[in-house]
Structure 1
């Protein structure tokens, strides 16, 4: 019995009490009831404080209501015993057979286990990397590549329609400086003072020439700059895309900032945006500049949209980009921004209010903290290729995609991180990613060993008796596996994929304790025939394998069969 099934059973009991006139609830029984695992095993399999929550509404005391619920639950299928603790807490013991059914249900669901419909109908945009197409992606981008992708995965698992979006910062003087740096490299000139350095610029210069032979010989400097900028941009953006694909991070949309300023941009373009803001009455002119009155909605100061010299600000692009997303039909927009963007939270929310939205419903801004990577006690800062930064590719090559992704995913976005290369790559149970992946590999080995003895999942399911999973360790593992959908729901609701990682670690620990318990052996010993209990535990191992595989997939981490 899963927490969700028990919650439904409790709701049925409440509805029956209301229908019989034994309980008065003016608003009717709740649609769901919170069910938790008690901290102490002796208190039962699950617990709920529903009696304390509803007693006042029902005009009774919590313990009296708890007695009514207890009687209804003990008459329900799958409930072994209900105890009342303190002022009205209900501690619920589930029958072994009802608990054991979880294993077969997980196996039947397979890859769909843990996928929900809690966010069904919601269209969500997750923008989680915003970068200039002027160089390799670096460590800061790497953290967002992991967290943004994982957030998208858990939101999808919770039923939302998710679009993962990369915002290309391709407007501004940096693009010309980028092109000038490539030209200087190709012609053997000194790089411009405000240009880009690193071996990658020299590599790009060669690639640009190969892509368009003779491009650096164009006589007109302006024409040459435009041509080199276009080819260099395309090549560098393609490299970023390839980097992310190899890192198991995939985007649905690569959105160009420059496109917001193009002629004919009707939906969310800057001219359209300025016209809408004027129509809504939230802009004003002062000192020759055009401002948005964001202080009307809690911002610490009003924001400039057009400077006195006629130049558009980044905030004008930000506003147009938000409106563009809303015009594309997104109900909710999630932004993942760097540690130096704390000030953006208030202004983005105020901006959303200025265009007529409720930012609490349509906008979510997550601020990430910095990451340090240590090797031999020294922080990795320099790149052989980029000159001043450590790149995503170099990190992935040195640490490994799985180890790097898992290590970054297992912490909240707002936690500063210091990761040691030696610690996150060692093959030891002290290393969380190794610990979880090894648990999955162990299930694969156990299943293979069972196959060598002629045991199969099909036969085990045909012979499955859930009541045989009655050992205390069986129950611990079943309850852990049953909790997985709730963890996914919580991770999606809070935008916290680290909850998946921590759950997997805890569940792997529960599995290892089960594995070490001789009374829970899956394989027959010596010349013993395969028993119904052996088959029941083979189903349980398959269920464990399913949950580990599904959970690792939500983090974009592989589930190896051998280690």
Structure 2
């Protein structure tokens, strides 16, 4: 019985208890919280439904807990219950009910952990979207890993997800990039506020190779040639790096498209017509304070040029025109102001501001030999996605970036991630999968075949803890999707690996020496197969391989 199955059972019993006592059953919530107690001697699971419901029903929570505990204990699959504290009910499952988790995992295979609660959600997930003026730095690399994992988690729970990269090819930064390439090709110093680094020289040389006469062109044509070819070369490199990192996009949208198709102008006309754009000091301002922003935003500057938000407004409308009912933006640490302005733009266009979600990611610090590895994109001392992958490999890089909440700064320890030890979290998880793969090979050599017919023999506390941990996976993935927190999957995998290693140390799975194969061996092998399946499913959700051997 999974926690979800137990929660459904408890709700049905609670409805009956409330009804039998002549109380208002409509007050019973649609879902009941079921949690694992911190201490094993407090039961397999615990619920606070009596605390949650007692006052609403006009019943002392502990008294209600007593009624519920008695009724829960009589339900099929529950071995015993007890009332704890001010109104908690602790629950012990019967062996048969608990062990059905193993059968469920093996029956569902790679579908275990998937659900349909997000069915009908058509989500545009925009992430990375780094300017094509240089290689992807560590902040963008974090979003490449987390964004891809979030897309996998959302899809696993039924959402229709489109991964999108917004190609910022409009604006002053592209002009500075083109001027920097031109300067490098001419052997001139880097322009003020330009871009430097070995990659600038490399791209400049490739532009000259593709357009041999570029340096003889008039200045405007020369700069435009460096811009058009250089940006395409840079973006091709970005795509290749992301692909090798295991992150691919369904759609690449060009910022220039918003202007070239006239969508920016049409949105501005619409906002003027509905009164949400007004003129002041020669500029046009969005009434964003009417929709929760801290200040109104300039959309058309006094010189007649569009401000950056003009493209953002059109881009949002473009997404909605394509049928997305939720637009998730994953932005860097310096973009907090975008939360309110993007929601205000949606509201000003007549949409529900909740059709916009903005996730803000914090900084990544690289550490080697106990000292920070510094990066400065403009100075050319850049720590990039390629650098990180070269140092630790794709799996370690992705996992280390995903396993922490994006709300916090993280330190990536290069020395740790190259160690083959339990201190290295990705190695710890992958090793558990490889260990079970080796166990499966050994079982095949010994002729031991797993069986679900004797799962009732799995009564050791270490076995029970492993089974309950397997049962948690579905809820972990569901919560990760709902909260947009794929790091929860990584933390779960580490907990599962630890639980498995403790089980393996205590419970011998295969016969030794001349020992006969018994039903407990077959049952434990089935438990190991289920654990291996859940580890593989979880690693797939974060885009990390599940090795057969290490």
Could you list the per-position Cα deviations for residues 390-431 of structure 1 after superposition, in whole angstroms to 9, with x for gaps in the alignment? 111011101211111111111111211222211222111111
Query: In structure 1, what is the equivalent of residue 515 of structure 2?
Result: 528
Asked whether the 8 Å contact 2:128–2:141 carries over to 1, the reply is no
* Secondary structure in 1 matching 2:533: helix
Maintained 8 Å contact 1:15/1:28 = no
Partner in structure 1 of residue 501 of structure 2: 512
- Quick check: 1:135–1:386 contact (8 Å CA) kept in 2? no
For 1:250-329, list aligned pairs within 5 A: 250-263=248-261, 265=262, 269-329=263-323
Q: Is the 8 A contact 1:488 1:500 kept in 2?
A: yes
What CA distance in whole angstroms lies between the structure 2 residues aligned with 1:51 and 1:189?
Answer: 75
**CA contact 2:293–2:340 (8 Å) conserved in 1:** yes
Matched residue, 2:80: 81
Q: Deviation at 1:18?
A: 5.6
Aligned to 1:219: 217
Q: Does 1:14 align with 2:1?
A: no
Q: How far is the alpha carbon of 1:343 from its aligned partner?
A: 2.2
Distance in 2 (CA, whole Å) between partners of 1:50 and 1:302 is: 46
Which whole-Å CA distance do the structure 2 matches of 1:486 and 1:446 have between them? 28
Aligned to 2:181: 182
1:502 matched residue in structure 2: 491
Deviation at 1:95, TM superposition (A): 0.8
Between stretches 177-186 and 197-206, larger displacement belongs to: 177-186
Whether 1:467 aligns to 2:466 is no
Are the structure 2 counterparts of residues 136 and 395 from structure 1 closer, same or farther at C-alpha, using a change threshold of 3 Å? Answer: same
**CA shift for structure 1 position 523:** 0.4
How far did residue 261 of structure 1 move?
A: 0.4
- Write the deviation string for residues 129-154 of structure 1: whole angstroms up to 9, x where unpaired: 12221221111111111111121121
Work out whether 1:3 is the aligned partner of 2:3. Answer: yes
* Structure 2 partner of 1:25: 24
Partner of 2:121: 122
Equivalent pair of 2:466/2:499 in contact (CA under 8 Å): yes
CA contact (8 A) 2:196 2:378 kept: no
Residue 546 of structure 1: how far off its partner (Å): 1.0
1:140 aligned counterpart, secondary structure: helix
Deviations 1:261-320 (A, max 9, x none): 013x4xxx2112112212322111001100011111222211100011101000111111
Q: Is the 8 A contact 2:195 2:379 kept in 1?
A: no
The answer to whether residue 345 in structure 2 is matched with residue 376 in structure 1 is no
Q: Partner residue of 2:475? A: 486
Provide the secondary structure at the position in 2 that maps to 1:27. Answer: helix
Return 5+ residue gaps in structure 1 as ranges.
none
Determine if contact 2:165/2:252 at 8 Å carries over to the other structure.
yes
C-alpha deviation, 1:388, in angstroms: 2.7
CA offsets 1:37-56 (integer angstroms, 9 cap, x no match): 11111111111111222223
Per-residue deviation, 1:208: 2.7
Matched, 1:246 2:233: no
Pairs within 5 Å for 1:103-118 = 103-118=102-117
The 3-state SS of whatever aligns with 1:467 is helix
Q: For residues 33 and 465 of structure 1, what CA distance do their matches in structure 2 show? A: 31
Unaligned runs of 5+ in 2: none
Q: What is the aligned length?
A: 550
Counterparts of 2:111 and 2:162 in 1: how far apart (Å)? 20
Name the residue aligned to 1:561: 548
Calculate the aligned-residue CA RMSD, in Å. 2.1
Aligned pairs (5 A) from 1:541-556: 541-556=528-543
Measured after TM superposition, the shift of residue 111 of structure 1 is 1.0
- Counterpart check, 1:425 vs 2:418: yes
What is the rounded CA distance, in whole Å, between the counterparts of 1:436 and 1:23 in structure 2? Answer: 51
What is the rounded CA distance, in whole Å, between the counterparts of 2:53 and 2:378 in structure 1? Answer: 63
Give CA deviations for 1:136-189 in whole Å, capped at 9, x if unaligned.
111111111111112112111121111111111110133233233333433444
Change (3 A) 1:378 1:65: closer
- The change in CA–CA distance for 1:386 and 1:478 in structure 2 (over 3 A counts) is farther
Q: Distance in 2 between matches of 1:366 and 1:170?
A: 23
Helix, strand or coil for the counterpart of 2:55? helix
2:57 paired residue number: 58
Question: Aligned partners of 1:215, 1:151: CA distance in 2, in Å?
Answer: 46
Aligned residue number for residue 388 of structure 2: 395
Q: Contact 1:402–1:557 (CA<8 Å) still a contact in 2?
A: yes
The 8 Å contact of residues 147 and 408 in structure 1, kept in 2 or not, is answered as: yes
Contact 1:146/1:249 (<8 A) preserved: yes
Find the residue that maps to 1:291 and give its secondary structure. Answer: strand
- Alpha carbons of structure 1 residues 132 and 340: separation in structure 2 relative to 1, 3 Å: same
Q: TM-score, normalised by structure 2?
A: 0.95
Whole-angstrom CA distance in 2 between matches of 1:557 and 1:546: 14
**Matches of 1:378 and 1:7, distance apart in 2:** 48
Aligned to 1:339: 333
Q: 1:311 to 1:466 in 2, by over 3 A?
A: same
User: 1: distance between equivalents of 2:23 and 2:139?
Assistant: 56
- Matched residues in 1 for 2:65 and 2:96: separation? 25
| Aligned equivalents of 2:249, 2:383: Cα separation in 1 | 22
Tell me, in whole angstroms, the C-alpha distance in 1 between the residues paired with 2:489 and 2:135: 30
Q: Does 1:330 align with 2:319?
A: no
Q: Is the 8 A contact 1:134 1:175 kept in 2?
A: yes
- C-alpha displacement of 1:217: 5.4
In 1, Cα distance between the equivalents of 2:274 and 2:377?
A: 52
Contact kept, 8 Å, 2:195 with 2:380, in 1: the verdict is no
Measure the CA separation in 2 of the matches of 1:432 and 1:306: 50
